[in-house]
Amino acid sequence: MSSNQENGFVYVLSNPAMPGLVKIGSSHSPEERVKQLYDTGVPLPFKIDGSIKCRDRHHAYEVERKVHTLLNEHRLTPAREFFQLPVSIAVWMVYKTAMEEYLAQAEQERAALAAAQAQLLQTILAPQSNGEFQPPKSLEFSACFRASCGRGSPR
């Protein structure tokens, strides 16, 4: 499995030793990230206040990047993922941004499917060289119609 296809989460962490600060980041596992951070010498372990599973790690990174941009004015320092704001606001921003990303992706997929359907329909309904419509033989419309209406069985 490529790294892009692995699980991806965007998380919000807090730490009682750092009141008023939240850490917003992405990882393949928020639980593993909390363990890694505790091993860095912080006095108390971080707590996972919220996390959302994304399509993959790339999507998680994109959501994280957008949240960081939206909350830039609350960032403690440019090189870190720490923000001065309430946990509830941080969690809400992560969920909202992830949902917007999901909806944008769904709309792109819907538009692509609609275009493919239109192209297929245009191909199926295109008149033959003599100007008359003739359905492709592979579709057997009459047999399908009879079967769906209960009037006989398909050949």
Enumerate domains of the chain plus CATH numbers. 3-109 (3.40.1440)
Encode pLDDT of 50-88 as tens digits.
999 998 999 999 999 999 999 999 999 988 999 999 999
Bridge partners of residue 8, in order along the sequence: 54
pLDDT band at 13 (very low <50, low <70, confident <90, very high): very high
For residue 90, the tally of other CB atoms under 10 A from its CB is 24
* 132 pLDDT above the threshold of 90: no
pLDDT of residue 124: 74
| pLDDT interval class at 155 (50, 70, 90) | very low
Q: For residue 150, what pLDDT band results from cuts at 50, 70 and 90?
A: low
The Cα 99–Cα 11 span in angstroms is 14
Q: Which amino acid is at 73?
A: E
Distance of CA 119 to the CA centre of its chain: 27
Is 139 a residue whose pLDDT tops 80?
Answer: no
Mean pLDDT, the chain, integer: 84
Q: What does the pLDDT look like over 96-129, one tens digit per residue?
A: 999 998 898 889 999 999 888 888 887 777 766 6
pLDDT at 147: 54
DSSP β-bridge partners for residue 21: 84
Whole-model pTM: value is 0.70
pLDDT at position 1 is 43
DSSP secondary structure letters along the chain: --GGGS-EEEEEEE-TTSTTEEEEEEES-HHHHHHHHHTTT-SS--EEEEEEEESSHHHHHHHHHHHHHHTGGGBS-TTS-EEES-HHHHHHHHHHHHHHHHHHHHHHHHHHHHHHHHHHHHHHH---TTS-----GGG-HHHHHHHHHTSS---
For residue 25, pLDDT beyond 90 = yes
